[in-house]
Each structure stands twice: as structure tokens, then as C-alpha cells.
């Protein structure tokens, strides 16, 4: 039974309808003899009530055209190829293998496995990547070396990157991405532009009006062109764990600043291969591509292509054969001739146990020694079975050997099982279960040879590169690491040594002196060619002098455990580059407890240090003493560090950092910490060359204990080289004193200027933006929104469209998804993919056409406007009115004629696409 309060609620809500029903009831009672006539009206009213109870503004009918439905993509397929490649171990073939490394799966090392494309598309991609290497690598690398090994490494990384992107794009549901996310972001961008322009009463520059309206809500890449490039760099860096090989992620680090560290995990994030790939992708591919996409003239051209009714070109040639993805591109151009990088055939040679044994020890640590054992056993078996003089008894021995190989390495329950193809295992099983004379089949059949090739490739492609970067390989080539040796050499011993670091300092002790000092000391030119092992007796005398000099030093001055530091206040200093500005420093107060009043030595003093100097100290201490887990600074900020509030907020953190350093026993005699707390000069990476080399090497390595010297020795060797001649200076536009770098010149553009020209800081204006599109879902609803807000459709037409929404929403949206999927299948045809790759190549590298004139751009804009009007059906023109239709089309097209607004939208869409491709970043 229907509750009376519900009837009362709906009666009050629909008072006119209720009054009409009451009047009809009264008339029916007065003229009850005409009830059969009024029955028709009551049936109609009951139908209306029934329809109203079932349908609402959120109710829609299902798809009325089920034949036009897109094929659903299941994102969680369970046992699909990609999932298996992520979970199946490359070595043993087990899922979620507890024995080997989790990253030892096929996808981690060879994501191009079973990834085939048409040869013509592969050739187009091959040519595109070759041009990238030619334009951005070979132009400077040819001046350094003719060796192709470095470029081969880049080729492999490009193939790895493209394979990962290809696999992820294959899993992407493009229709859903376009209709659910990209279309929503585009309509929301249009709505913001319309709201801002409406607030300005449709007067003024729409681009500046919208940017001022958005304020601090703009994308961070829009702050400036340098901020845009930095954003792309950080975006590419965040993708490195997913798009680069493990060997590239573990390559040697190349640090330049203290903020090159990830402070959370304290791992280097800027590495040699990563840095180059980052610059190529961010500066050479993504930045010019986004610039081209945001160009209004290109958008008008794309609109003309979209409105063009010409059928797409048909394939004129038969499909080309399928080939491995970028297999030809990644082939090595030169063999590695380095004596330090051994080939696998030399490593597993049983006649060289001094090389085989370290490799075997490494494989034991990786729980993969069974792969090496199988290779050696299989190689010996192949040698024996190919012997033409083998007797029947030897065939019996070979059969038992094959049986052992199968039971140990191929059987499903074998402890040392290796993942071979099913046909290999099946053929070996038939030989094992057959009579002994059946082993002769392995002479002519290929299963055992394929098994050997599989295990050999596993060692060569996966484990040998890891071995080259392991401590076992380092110890095999160089011996034990020199930590203990250096500590022993640094201890003061009276006995004579063959060679010490002090003698090395004697050899190069004047390299940092000026030219006049070197001439006055009359340094022998022959010293440059001396062997380090042939140091004469006078060098030992110099060593003793340096030791005596170090003994004469006042080591009590360096006993930092009795020092107490505080940071009581913040000081302001004028900026030398701009006297009108100022920066803030930390005033460090130092007090010594080991100095009594009345002594000549200072008991208390202050030192001023800037924000960045603390991170230089941390970087240098890490180089000499390793990671100090209990003494770490907060993550370094790249900008906004000159503000008073920021500096004041860091005062307590920096004070605690210095106080903890003074409590460390191995830092009580640290020369670095001593210089930081006493020197009045700026504490930067350039303070080292000011120290005389002989005393520098001896003192630094003794007092800093010399625990982690890799970075120091590289910097030290670099400092001994003569400085390269400086290039001629180029003046910046509007300035006579500054230099204009090539990157700055590339960043300047006629379309975008300097974006919003806010540097690395967001605009100060803040406001809550309207989110009218937030609760709207679906392409049909977006169409209704544009009709109402852009074309200003009349109310009767909007009411009709909302009624049609109930009937047609699901049908229209399903047909749109089907149409997008159909168009995508056409675009991804072989000949059209080749055309798209060549088009991208022409835009990025061979766009030598003269700049289009303003008149040409106006003609293209007028053509796009006319085609947009013709694209709308005549019924819509009649319903909206010619005036509203023209104004709406003009406003809609004008929004996409603003390059900076296009750039804002392009970065919003880029973020959405990246998050769809890499959901791990969410």
C-alpha cells in the first residue's frame, strides 16, 4: 500500500497536475453516466503516472543498436601473454618463482619477445630512430669517439622503451579513454574559457583573460618555458623504472648537484644513460611535439582533415611480412673489443678456470648456476655424440646422460628446471623413454641444440651483463677493493714503501699553482711522462717532509667533538647580481669548550652559510664517508629558497644536522667540517682547487679516512686537466652582459613567448574554478552542455534534447565508441601507420618550408570555420538559429586559436594519457 505522506509530497510538488486530476474527478462524479468517455482520460493519466514512476532525468534506455557496440577489452585477463611475461621466471619457468630474482622475467629483459609488426612499419620506425640518433647523438659523439658501443646501448634502450610503450598501448581501451576522460577534460577547458570570457563581457584578449581567470590553477608547465622543459624531464624520469632496462637504471651515476639524489631512498636518480635518454625524450621529442600540437595553424589543418569527406587512401601493395619489433634497429654495429668486457665463450671456457670460477660464484649468488651447468654438460654431450667413431656402449652412456639431463633440467618437477619450449621437452622425453639406440636421433634433430641455444642466450643476455656490473667481476679484474689498502697506506709507518699517495702528490703537487709559480719552481717537463712505479728517492724525502708538516699542524684545532654549534638567527645579505634584492643566510654560532678564556685562540665566533652550502657539505661528506643514515638533510628545493619564511623554517633542521655531525667519532678530525665552520669563503664544490695539491691529498685522505673515493678520484683527475678554451660569448637579446645558451634560444618561440613568464613559481592569484562538467558523464551529456553554454540553445530545444537523452544516450554513446574503434582500426593499418611515422618525422626534422604568412593562416582559419558550420546538420541550424550557430562556432574555434591555452590543454591531456598508460604513477 502506498504511504499517504508520499502522495501528499508528490501532490504538493506537482500542484497543477494534482489540481487537474481533482477537477477531472469532480466532473466524472457529476457526469457519471459518461464514465466510458472519461475512462480514456483516466487511462492516459495512469500511463503518465506509471511512466513518471519508472523514468527520471537519470534514467536512460539501453542501447537500441546492439550491433554497433565496441568490443570490450578486459584489463584483467589472468593468464594473457603480458601477465605471464610479468610473472613467469625466465630461468625455471615457474610463476612467482621464490628462487630467482623477481625481476628475472622475460618482460624485464626482453619485452619485445613475441612482439611482431609489419616490416614496412618497422622500417619506418627504424629510420625515425636513426634520425633521432643522427641529429642529437652523433653530432657530438663523433667528436669524442668512433666506437659504436655507446650508441648500441642507446639503440637497445630505445627498443626496450618502444616495446614497453607498444605493449601498454595494445592494452589501452582507446574509446573509453577518449569519451570518458579526454573529452571530459576538453569540455571542461572550453567551459573555463567561456566562463572567463563571459566574466570579461566578451571583450579583450581571450588568451590573457582565461590565464588570469585560472591563476594558480594553470598547469605547472605553463609557468615558464624552462619550467615546461623541467616538467617534461621529471615526467620522463618518473617513467624510467618502467621504460628502461635494468642495466640502464643501474648504470654509473653522474652527479652535478646535491639535489640529484632521491632523499627518500637515497639513490642516484641522474645517471649516465638515463640522463641522455631523458634529454632526448624531453627536449628533442616531447617538447617540439607539444609545441606543434599547440600551434593554432596545425589545429586548423587537423580540423580540415577531419571534415574532409575524401575516403582514406587504400593500400596499393600486399601486406609485408611480420618481423620482430625493431630487431634490425637494435642490432649491434660494432663488436666490443674491450679487454675488460669478456665474451661469454671466453667466460665459460673450462680451460680458463680463473675466469669461469668467479662467474660460477656469481651465478650461485643468483641461484642460477644450473643454467651454466646445463650449458657445460650439453656442450660436452654434443661433442661426444657427434663423434663418428662412437660405439654401441658409448650410445648407452649417452642415453643415460640424456636421461640425467632431462630429469635434472627438463622434467616438470625437477629442482633445477629450466624453462624450455614444450616441443623441446617433448622430443627429449621421447628419446629418454625409448631404447638406448634412439639417442642417435639427437645427431640430426634440433631439440638439444635449441635447448643449448636457449640456455646460452639466457647467460649472455641476462646474467653476463649483471656479472659485468657485480663485485665478483670487479674483484676478478682489479682484485680486492682498496679500502683496507688505503687505510694501511695512510697510517704513518717508518718503513720505506714502493709507492704512496704522498709520492703521487709530489708528482703533481704544483698542478694547481699559477703559471708564474710553476716557472719559478722550474718543474721538469719530463715529470709528465714518468711512471708512477718509478719514483726516485727524492720523492720519499718530500713524503717525509709532508708527513712532518702534517705532524706540525695543530690537531687540537681539528678536534670537533668539543665544539658546540647553534643557529640563533637568520641574516640578510644584498644580492651581488641585483643590489635591490637580498638573500638570507644562516648565522652559525660556534663555541669551543677546549679553549679557556685568556688564550690566544678564538673561543667563539660566527659563520654565515647559505642554503645550498649545507647540501654541498652533505655531498662531500658522503663522497668520503659514505651514507650517514642518522645525519641527513631534508629534500633540497630548487627554487623559492631565498624567502625569509622558508629560510626561517629550515633553521632548526640545519642546526640539528650540524649538532649530529659533531657527535660522530669519525668526523672529529674532518677537514671538510672544519672548513665549513671556520672559513669565511663560500663553501662550494670549487673550494678544493684553492688548496696546494701535496698537502691536499695527504691531509684530505688522512683526515677524511678515505672510505668512499670513487667520486673524489674522478673529480681529482678532472681537475688536473687543462681547461678547455672558452667559446665566444653571445649576448642575450636586450642585455650586454649575459650569455644566451642554445637551450634558451630553442625555448624561445613566437607562439608561446615564455608561457606565463613566472619562472619556477606559480601565479599568486588563487580562486576556486567552476566545476560544471564534474557531474556530467558521457558524450551525449557533453553535447548538451555545449549546446546550452556555447551555442545558447533555446529552452524548448534543450527540453527536447533532454527528452531524447532518455531514449538515445546509450545508443549514441555506444555508436560513438564503435565508430572510434572502427576509425582506430583504419588508422592502424600498415600503410597508414607508415604515413603517420613519416609525417611525424617531417614535422620534427624536415620542416624546411618557409613560415606561413599571416594571410595564409587567416585563409586556413576561414576554411576551418566554414567547414565547421557545414558539419553541423541543417536541423541544428534551424533549431539554434543562424546567429547563435555562427557565434557558437566562432567562439569555439577562437578558443583553439590561442597557443598558450592550447598548450595548457595539451599538458592536461598528456597527464591523462600517461596515467592511463602507467597506472602505477597514480
pLDDT digits (tens, 9 = 90+) for 210-238: 888 888 889 999 998 899 999 999 999 89
**C-beta of residue 274 within 8 angstroms of C-beta of residue 195:** no
For the segment 107-113, the average pLDDT, to the nearest whole number, is: 70
Which residues are registered as beta bridge partners of 95? 88
Q: How confident is the model at residue 601 (pLDDT cuts 50, 70, 90)?
A: confident
| pLDDT(285) > 50 | yes
Higher pLDDT, residue 227 or 667: 227
What digits encode the pLDDT tens for the residues 751-782?
677 888 888 888 877 777 777 776 788 888 89
| pLDDT(57) > 70 | no
| pLDDT(629) > 80 | no
Most confident among 1-5, 27-31, 417-421 (mean pLDDT): 27-31
Q: Cell numbers at residue 207, please?
A: 588568451
| pLDDT(571) > 80 | yes
For the segment 827-848, the average pLDDT, to the nearest whole number, is: 85
Q: How many Å apart are CA 137 and CA 17, to the nearest integer? A: 77
| Residue at grid coordinates 648504470 | 251
Check residue 749 and give its pLDDT: 53
For the segment 311-318, the average pLDDT, to the nearest whole number, is: 83
For the segment 380-405, the average pLDDT, to the nearest whole number, is: 77
Average predicted confidence (pLDDT) for the chain: 75
Instruction: Please list, in sequence order, all residues whose beta carbon lies within 8 angstroms of the beta carbon of residue 504, skipping any fewer than 6 positions away.
Output: 532, 697
Q: What are phi and psi of 88, to 5 degrees?
A: -85, 130
| pLDDT(352) > 90 | no
Instruction: Please list, in sequence order, all residues whose beta carbon lies within 8 angstroms of the beta carbon of residue 920, skipping any fewer than 6 positions away.
Output: 242
As a whole number of Å, the CA-based R_g of the chain is 38
Q: How many Å apart are CA 399 and CA 405, to the nearest integer? A: 10
| pLDDT(922) > 60 | yes
Check residue 550 and give its pLDDT: 39
Cα distance from N-terminal residue to C-terminal residue, the chain: 50
CB atoms within 10 A of CB 151: 17
| pLDDT(503) > 70 | no
Check residue 126 and give its pLDDT: 92
Check residue 647 and give its pLDDT: 85
- φ/ψ bin of 899: left (φ > 0), alpha (ψ from -120 to 50), beta (otherwise): alpha
Check residue 912 and give its pLDDT: 94
Check residue 216 and give its pLDDT: 86
CB atoms within 10 A of CB 884: 17
Higher pLDDT, residue 626 or 218: 218
Instruction: Please list, in sequence order, all residues whose beta carbon lies within 8 angstroms of the beta carbon of residue 98, skipping any fewer than 6 positions away.
Output: none
Check residue 426 and give its pLDDT: 83
For the segment 96-105, the average pLDDT, to the nearest whole number, is: 53
For the segment 405-411, the average pLDDT, to the nearest whole number, is: 82
Check residue 549 and give its pLDDT: 40
Higher pLDDT, residue 155 or 447: 155
Q: How many Å apart are CA 731 and CA 740, to the nearest integer? A: 6
- φ/ψ bin of 93: left (φ > 0), alpha (ψ from -120 to 50), beta (otherwise): left
Check residue 88 and give its pLDDT: 59
Check residue 685 and give its pLDDT: 66
Q: Determine which of 402-406, 720-724, 855-859 has the lowest per-residue pLDDT on average.
A: 720-724
E-strand stretches of 669-722: none
Check residue 360 and give its pLDDT: 85
Provide, rounded to the nearest whole percent, the portion of the chain with pLDDT above 70: 72
Most confident among 11-20, 255-264, 285-294, 596-605 (mean pLDDT): 285-294
| pLDDT(733) > 50 | no
| pLDDT(577) > 70 | yes
| pLDDT(516) > 70 | no
For the segment 684-703, the average pLDDT, to the nearest whole number, is: 49
Q: How confident is the model at residue 499 (pLDDT cuts 50, 70, 90)?
A: very low
Check residue 127 and give its pLDDT: 92
Strand ranges across the sheet with 563-574: 563-574, 582-592, 604-609
Check residue 631 and give its pLDDT: 82
| pLDDT(517) > 70 | no
Higher pLDDT, residue 485 or 830: 830
**C-beta of residue 701 within 8 angstroms of C-beta of residue 693:** no
Q: How confident is the model at residue 520 (pLDDT cuts 50, 70, 90)?
A: very low
Sign, CA torsion 23/28/31/36: positive
Higher pLDDT, residue 214 or 336: 214
| pLDDT(742) > 60 | no
What digits encode the pLDDT tens for the residues 781-797?
899 989 998 999 999 99
CA-based nearest residue to 105, from 82, 121, 132, 131:
82
Check residue 533 and give its pLDDT: 35
Q: Distances in Å between the alpha carbon of 101 and those of 90, 252, 421, 919?
A: 10, 22, 21, 24
Higher pLDDT, residue 576 or 280: 280
Check residue 529 and give its pLDDT: 36
**830 three-class SS:** helix
Q: How confident is the model at residue 97 (pLDDT cuts 50, 70, 90)?
A: low
Provide, rounded to the nearest whole percent, the portion of the chain with pLDDT above 90: 13
Q: Distances in Å between the alpha carbon of 473 and those of 252, 348, 357, 482, 890?
A: 15, 14, 11, 15, 68
What digits encode the pLDDT tens for the residues 257-275?
333 444 343 333 345 678 8
Amino acid at each position: 500500500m502506498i504511504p499517504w505522506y508520499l502522495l501528499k509530497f508528490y501532490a504538493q510538488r506537482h500542484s497543477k497536475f494534482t489540481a487537474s486530476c481533482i477537477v477531472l474527478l469532480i466532473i466524472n462524479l457529476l457526469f457519471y453516466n459518461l464514465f466510458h468517455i472519461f475512462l480514456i482520460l483516466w487511462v492516459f493519466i495512469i500511463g503518465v503516472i506509471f511512466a513518471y514512476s519508472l523514468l527520471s532525468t537519470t534514467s536512460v534506455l539501453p542501447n537500441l543498436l546492439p550491433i554497433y557496440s565496441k568490443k570490450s577489452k578486459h584489463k584483467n585477463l589472468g593468464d594473457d601473454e603480458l601477465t605471464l611475461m610479468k610473472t613467469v621466471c625466465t630461468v625455471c619457468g615457474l610463476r612467482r618463482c621464490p628462487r630467482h630474482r623477481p625481476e628475472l622475467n622475460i618482460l624485464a629483459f626482453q619485452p619485445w619477445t613475441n612482439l611482431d609488426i609489419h616490416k614496412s612499419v618497422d622500417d619506418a620506425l627504424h629510420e625515425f630512430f636513426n634520425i633521432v640518433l643522427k641529429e642529437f647523438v652523433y653530432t657530438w659523439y663523433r667528436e669524442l669517439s668512433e666506437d659504436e658501443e655507446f650508441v648500441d646501448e642507446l639503440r637497445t634502450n630505445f627498443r626496450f622503451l618502444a616495446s614497453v610503450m607498444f605493449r601498454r598501448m595494445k592494452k589501452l581501451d582507446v574509446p573509453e579513454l577518449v569519451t570518458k576522460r579526454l573529452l571530459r577534460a576538453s569540455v571542461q577547458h572550453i567551459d573555463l574559457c567561456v566562463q572567463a570570457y563571459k566574466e570579461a563581457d566578451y571583450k579583450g584578449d581571450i588568451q590573457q583573460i582565461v590565464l588570469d581567470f585560472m591563476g594558480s590553477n594553470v598547469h605547472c608547465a605553463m609557468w615558464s618555458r624552462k619550467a615546461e622543459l623541467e616538467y617534461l624531464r621529471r615526467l620522463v624520469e618518473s617513467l624510467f623504472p618502467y621504460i628502461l632496462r635494468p642495466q640502464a637504471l643501474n648504470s654509473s651515476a653522474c652527479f652535478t648537484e646535491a639535489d640529484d639524489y632521491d632523499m627518500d631512498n637515497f639513490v642516484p636518480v641522474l645517471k649516465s644513460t638515463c640522463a641522455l635518454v631523458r634529454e632526448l625524450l624531453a627536449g628533442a621529442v616531447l617538447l617540439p611535439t607539444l609545441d606543434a600540437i599547440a600551434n593554432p595553424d596545425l589545429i586548423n589543418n587537423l580540423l580540415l582533415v577531419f571534415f574532409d569527406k575524401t575516403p582514406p587512401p587504400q593500400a596499393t601493395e600486399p601486406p609485408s611480412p611480420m618481423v620482430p619489433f625493431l630487431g634490425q634497429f637494435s642490432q649491434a654495429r660494432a663488436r666490443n673489443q674491450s679487454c675488460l668486457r669478456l665474451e661469454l665463450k671466453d667466460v665459460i671456457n673450462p680451460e680458463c678456470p680463473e675466469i669461469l670460477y668467479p662467474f660460477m660464484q656469481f651465478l650461485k649468488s643468483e641461484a642460477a648456476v644450473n643454467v651454466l651447468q646445463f650449458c657445460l654438460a650439453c656442450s660436452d654431450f654434443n661433442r661426444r655424440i657427434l663423434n663418428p667413431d662412437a660405439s654401441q656402449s658409448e650410445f648407452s652412456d649417452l642415453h643415460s646422460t640424456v636421461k640425467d639431463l632431462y630429469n635434472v633440467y627438463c622434467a616438470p618437477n625437477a629442482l633445477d628446471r629450466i624453462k624450455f619450449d614444450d616441443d623441446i621437452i617433448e622430443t627429449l622425453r621421447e628419446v629418454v623413454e625409448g631404447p638406448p639406440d634412439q639417442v642417435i636421433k639427437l645427431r640430426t634433430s634440433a631439440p638439444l641444440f635449441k635447448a643449448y641455444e636457449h640456455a646460452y642466450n639466457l647467460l649472455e643476455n641476462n646474467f653476463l651483463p649483471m656479472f659485468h656490473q657485480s663485485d665478483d667481476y670487479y674483484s676478478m679484474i682489479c682484485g680486492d677493493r682498496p679500502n683496507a689498502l688505503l687505510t694501511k697506506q695512510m697510517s704513518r709507518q717508518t718503513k720505506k714503501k714502493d709507492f704512496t699517495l704522498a709520492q703521487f702528490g709530489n708528482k703533481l703537487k704544483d698542478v694547481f699553482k699559477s703559471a708564474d709559480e710553476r716557472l719559478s719552481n722550474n718543474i721538469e717537463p719530463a715529470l709528465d711522462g714518468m711512471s708512477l712505479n718509478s719514483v726516485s728517492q727524492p720523492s720519499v724525502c718530500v713524503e717525509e717532509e709532508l708527513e712532518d708538516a702534517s705532524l706540525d699542524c695543530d690537531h687540537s684545532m681539528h678536534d670537533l667533538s668539543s665544539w658546540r654549534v647553534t643557529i640563533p638567527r637568520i641574516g640578510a645579505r644584498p644580492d651581488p647580481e641585483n643590489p635591490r634584492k637580498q638573500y638570507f643566510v644562516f648565522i652559525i654560532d660556534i663555541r669551543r669548550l677546549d679553549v679557556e678564556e685568556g688564550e690566544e685562540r678564538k673561543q667563539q665566533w660566527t659563520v654565515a652559510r647559505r642554503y645550498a652550502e649545507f647540501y654541498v657539505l652533505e655531498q662531500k661528506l658522503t663522497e668520503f664517508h659514505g651514507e650517514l643514515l642518522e645525519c641527513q638533510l631534508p629534500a633540497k628545493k630548487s627554487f623559492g629558497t631565498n624567502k625569509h619564511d622558508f629560510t626561517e623554517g629550515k633553521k632548526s633542521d640545519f642546526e640539528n644536522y650540524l649538532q649530529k655531525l659533531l657527535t660522530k667519532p669519525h668526523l672529529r678530525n674532518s677537514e671538510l667540517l672544519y672548513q665549513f665552520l671556520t672559513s669565511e669563503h663560500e663553501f662550494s664544490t670549487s673550494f678544493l682547487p684553492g688548496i696546494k695539491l701535496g698537502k691536499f691529498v695527504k691531509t684530505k685522505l688522512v683526515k677524511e679516512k678515505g672510505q668512499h673515493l670513487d667520486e673524489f678520484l674522478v673529480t681529482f683527475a678532472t681537475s688536473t686537466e687543462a681547461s678547455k678554451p672558452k667559446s665566444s660569448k653571445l649576448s642575450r637579446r636586450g642585455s650586454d652582459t649575459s650569455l644566451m645558451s642554445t637551450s634558451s634560444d630553442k625555448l624561445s618561440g613566437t607562439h608561446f613567448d615564455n608561457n606565463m613568464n613566472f619562472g619556477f613559481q606559480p601565479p599568486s592569484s588563487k580562486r576556486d574554478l567552476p566545476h560544471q562538467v564534474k557531474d556530467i558523464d558521457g558524450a551525449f551529456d557533453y553535447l548538451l552542455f555545449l549546446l546550452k553554454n556555447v551555442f545558447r540553445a533555446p529552452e524548448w530545444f534543450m527540453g527536447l534534447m533532454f527528452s531524447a537523452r532518455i531514449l538515445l544516450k546509450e545508443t549514441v554513446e555506444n555508436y560513438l565508441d564503435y565508430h572510434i574503434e572502427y576509425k582506430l582500426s583504419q588508422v592502424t593499418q600498415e600503410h597508414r601507420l607508415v604515413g603517420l611515422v613519416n609525417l611525424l618525422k617531417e614535422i620534427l626534422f624536415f620542416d624546411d618550408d618557409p613560415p606561413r604568412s599571416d594571410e595564409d593562416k587567416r585563409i586556413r582559419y576561414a576554411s576551418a570555420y566554414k567547414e565547421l558550420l557545414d558539419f553541423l546538420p541543417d536541423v541544428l541550424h534551424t533549431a539554434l538559429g543562424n546567429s547563435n550557430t555562427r557565434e557558437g562556432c566562432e567562439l569555439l574555434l577562437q578558443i583553439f586559436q590561442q597557443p598558450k591555452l592550447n598548450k595548457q590543454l595539451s599538458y592536461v591531456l598528456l597527464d591523462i594519457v600517461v596515467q592511463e598508460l602507467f597506472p602505477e604513477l597514480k
